[in-house]
Amino acid sequence: MAMLATGLTLEQFLSGYAGEFTGFLLAVLIHTLLLFHVFAVSPAFFIWLERKVSGRIQDRLGPTRVGGKFGWLQSVADGIKLIQKEDLAPAAADQWLFRLAPYLALVASFTVFMVLPFSRGWAAVVIESSVFLALAIISLEVLGIILAGWSSGSKWALFGSMREAAQMVSYEIPLALCALIPVMAVGTLNFVTIAEVQSGFFLTNWLIFHDPFTFVAFFVYFTVAIASVKRAPFDLAEAESELVAGFHTEYSGMRWSYFFLAEYASMLSVSCVAVLLFLGGWWSGTGLEDLLAPVRNWGQNFPVQGFSAGNYALNLLGAHIFLFKASLLVTVQIWVRWTLPRLRIDQVMTTCLKYLIPISCALFLGASLWPLTLTTILGRPMLLGRPVGDRLYEASHHSSSLPAATNVTRTPAAQEVVR
């Protein structure tokens, strides 16, 4: 996972040894394998966490037997059980679509991870409009779900998927509007740049504290994000108490677990987006990284940038901080699910259309007027801290590895090789 600023990309490096085509294939394989680990291992952890947290909230113990005192291996046991189950398709189902739909959901929720940077220079694909692309891909998961519900040939599944379609089409609007607010504060659609400007002390530099509107926007975004991954209190597509199991009523075994995997991976990906846009990306928020900056020069400079010893260590630290913050947000999602009662479908739609969309429109307007007003009154665009533009400029000139230089802003797929 290395797209770099001043060094070679992994693909260019491999191409130099193995030829253009093989290098490309190898780079794609390495990136995909690494991301697939994030994609597959994190849901296993979150499913265990969900069981444990829900147990504690309901005054139970949760899993205690598999893998010792805390039931660490519960997810593995679940997986083994699910693989053994029979793969059924009902007679009334549209067999072909029914078998295909879980993969659509899975692919969509996996693809989001391709555009997420996990640390400085650690992203599979760095493109200029990555925020936009991430939002577009997040909105695609619904396709697999509504196709699953339709092709099941069951009333419950059809109801579930109709609800999901109505819910997702409406909730995409406030999701995009709220994501636009930090984008507007920085002035770029690039995740990497947005995360880079949030270095330093969190109170002044994280975008959630940029102005009052981004502060509110974070909470609106998080609410909408819970709805967009169809978690309780917005899990109307599943609605176990009314619709048996909603869109996946007819699924069993591995195909069922693909939906499960996609849901938990999406929980992580929307949380990652929230961390990148509002909560300082891979920065700890203490300013510790500025003290550690000289470490980046340690070790022999490997041709693939970001892989010299010092750089690698700091990037690893950043990735851990990033994933820790994202996991905290996932924990909050779990906590919300087991605390709040489920809404009815009309309440879900009312919440979105009558409250969340007007609120996010007002926030959008406010966030665009805020710097203008402050500049008029105070003569500077921010109350606290240095303006984002200054930070952007400084970051690009001081640290040579701000990945805004030209040779990073391209997809590996479309990479031309230096000859």
Positions in the binding site for another protein (CB under 8 A): 5-7, 20-21, 24, 94, 96-97, 100, 127-129, 132-133, 135-137, 139-140, 142-143, 146-147, 149-151, 158, 161-162, 165-166, 168-169, 172, 188-189, 392-393, 396, 400-402, 404-407, 409-411, 413-419
Please confirm whether the linkage preceding 174 is cis (ω < 30° from 0). Answer: no
Place of tokens 């990136």: 31
**C-beta of residue 15 within 8 angstroms of C-beta of residue 25:** no
Q: Which is nearer to another protein, 169 or 378 (CB)?
A: 169
Between 252 and 399, CB nearer to another protein: 399
The nearest distance, CB 369 to another protein, in angstroms, is 16
Task: In angstroms, give the least distance from the CB of 406 to another protein.
Answer: 5
CA torsion through residues 179, 183, 184, 188, sign: negative
The number of residues in the chain equals 419
| Least Cβ distance, residue 146 to another protein (angstroms) | 5
Q: Which is nearer to another protein, 179 or 326 (CB)?
A: 179
Q: Which residues pair with 8 in a beta bridge?
A: 304
Pull the structure tokens for residue 243.
């619709």
Residue entry with tokens 């990033």? 322
Nearer to another protein, 69 or 419 (CB): 419
Q: DSSP readout, 306-354?
A: T-SHHHHHHHHHHHHHHHHHHHHHHHHHHHHHTTSPPPPHHHHHHIIII
To another protein, the closest distance from the beta carbon of 190 in angstroms equals: 8
- The least CB distance from residue 68 to another protein, in Å, is 43
Among the residues of 58-127, which ranges form H helices?
A: 74-84, 95-115
**Of the two residues 4 and 216, which places its CB atom closer to another protein in the complex?**
4
Residue 142 CB, nearest approach to another protein (Å): 6
Decide whether 80 or 369 has the Cβ nearer to another protein: 369
State the nearest-atom distance from the C-beta of 393 to another protein, in Å: 8
For another protein, the closer of residues 157 and 208 by Cβ is 157
Nearest one of 48, 79, 46 to 65, comparing CA atoms: 48
Q: Can you state the angle between helices 253-277 and 20-57, rounded to 10 degrees?
A: 90
Give bridge partners of residue 119 from the DSSP assignment: 122
Nearer to another protein, 291 or 413 (CB): 413
- Under 8 Å between Cβ of 374 and 382: yes
Of 315, 359, 309, 266, which Cα lies nearest the Cα of 3?
315
Least distance in Å: CB of 40 to another protein? 23
111, 270, 287 from 137: Cα distances, Å? 7, 11, 33
Q: Give the tokens for residue 413.
A: 């797929």
Our CB check for another protein shows the closer of 12 and 284 to be 12
Q: ∠ CA 309-314-315 to the nearest 5 degrees?
A: 95
**Minimum CB–partner distance for residue 363 and another protein (Å):** 19
